[in-house]
Amino acid sequence: MDAPRRGRPPKHWIDLDAAERAELIAELGLPKFRAGQLDRQVLVRLSEDPEEWTDIPKDDRAVLAERCAPKLTWLVRDQVADGGTTVKSLWRLHDGSLVESVLMRYGVPGIRASGRGRDRSTVCVSSQAGCGMACPFCATGQGGLQRNLSAAEIVAQVIDSARRLRDSEVPGGPGRVNNVVLMGMGEPLANYAAVLKAVRTITSPAPAGLGISARGVTISTVGLVPGIRKLASEGLPVTLAVSLHAPDDELRDELCPINTRWPISEVIAAAKQYFLSTGRRVSIEYALIHNVNDQSWRAEELASVLRGPNGYGWVHVNLIPLNPTPGSKWTASQPEVTDEFIRRLELRGVPVTVRDTRGREIDGACGQLAASEAPN
Ligand code: SAH
């Protein structure tokens, strides 16, 4: 399950903790306070251009840029939808690996496609180039795993969205990132250390972090039980999402092959433990696939599997209409079947919502990220 080490990106400020940052500054023979200055440039002013670091002398800027804050992500292209409020970005990494991130702004007055409610923005980021989990209905799973991203490569995707929103590059005027979801390419818990470091940087208060609320961060996993247990012990109130997709091991073995290693009972037990440790309601992801996992009896079975000693207070089911992927034999469930699935869950008292399909026409929705340069 370990990713190949080739193509390791250069070390970046964001990959270092506070002590390591101070150490590096000392090693470079720079005054101590340069650390705080660099924090502010990179994490508060969101600037990756040393020319803009005008509070730092020119010579020191060059050293800092090269040794502490090398450029890690190059924008290949953007694709937009929903009146500009959904932006999928394709990034090239230093070794040529490609990943995608998706920025979604909601509740923009005058843009109906952005939906209702208050103005808020979510950025969906990748944690690996490719993915090794091989779920057959997911486009990312088809290409295999290239490599883990570093913490700085993960955070760079968030910084880019934060900068675009701040600078009004997305319709709706100046905005900010409210939510970060690790639901892009890759399995976050298979790249545990870098993901944790990234989340700590995202949620630390300025100037050492981006100052986004941990409650606004969601880590989604296919169900790596040791990773879920470890995450529960970090004292970080992030939301855990578990991609379940089937209530029975026979079907889940097929839809999520890692299930043969950690079956449903173990995944659910770890998820319940996560709730007990953090008090955060766990989100169960379930992509509804026509005639595969959408039968009424499976809705009943799902309700049974999720029932805790105190009912359903620990959990929330998020149904995802299956998004099309190249070469897949599967299609989305019929609307009546979806409604019946929801009704069965609601009758049993299971909290349930249906996820929107933002970005579908630019292959930016769940399970569609494949990061190729081919024009579409
Ligand atoms: N590897 C992690 C993070 C990916 S999140 C995980 O599995 O949770 C992407 C979400 O989209 C997951 O819930 C995944 O199962 C789901 N997904 C994958 N392919 C999909 C598709 N074709 N349609 C809808 N959802 C899909």
Residue nearest to atom 3 of ligand 1 (CA): 183
- Among 99, 245, 320, 330, the mutation site with the greatest number of ligand 1 atoms within 8 A of its Cβ is 320
Confidence (pLDDT) at 3: 57
| Atom from ligand 1 closest to the CA of residue 187 | 1
Beta strand spans in 107-148 (E): 120-124, 128-130, 145-148
Confidence (pLDDT) at 139: 96
Pocket of ligand 1 (CB under 6 A): 133, 135, 137-138, 183, 187, 220-222, 243, 285, 287, 320, 322-323, 325, 366-367
Residue nearest to atom 17 of ligand 1 (CA): 367
**Catalytic entry in 68, 124, 135, 366:** 366
| Helical packing angle, 335-347 and 296-306, nearest 10° | 30
Q: What is the dihedral of CA 264, 270, 271, 277, to 10 degrees?
A: 170
Q: Does 135 qualify as catalytic in the annotation?
A: no
Q: How far apart are the C-alpha atoms of 185 and 125, rounded to whole Å? A: 7
Residue nearest to atom 24 of ligand 1 (CA): 322
DSSP string, 361-374: GGT-STT------S
Distance from the alpha carbon of residue 355 to the mean position of ligand 1, in angstroms = 12
DSSP string, 220-269: EES--HHHHHHHHTS---PEEEEE---SSHHHHHHHSGGGGTS-HHHHHH
Q: How far apart are the C-alpha atoms of 219 and 195, rounded to whole Å? A: 9
Q: Does 336 qualify as catalytic in the annotation?
A: no
Confidence (pLDDT) at 376: 56
Q: What is the pLDDT along the chain (376 residues), one digit of tens a residue?
A: 555 556 789 999 999 998 999 999 999 999 999 999 999 999 999 999 999 999 999 999 999 999 999 999 999 999 999 999 999 999 999 999 999 999 999 999 999 999 999 999 999 999 999 999 999 999 999 999 999 999 999 999 999 999 999 999 999 999 999 999 999 999 999 999 999 999 999 999 999 999 999 999 999 999 999 999 999 999 999 999 999 999 999 999 999 999 999 999 999 999 999 999 999 999 999 999 999 999 999 999 999 999 999 999 999 999 999 999 998 999 999 999 999 999 999 999 999 999 988 999 999 999 999 988 876 5
Q: How far apart are the C-alpha atoms of 176 and 119, rounded to whole Å? A: 9
Q: How far apart are the C-alpha atoms of 329 and 3, rounded to whole Å? A: 28
Phi, psi angles (nearest 5°) of residue 113: -65, -15
Q: In the beta sheet, which residues pair with residue 240?
A: 219
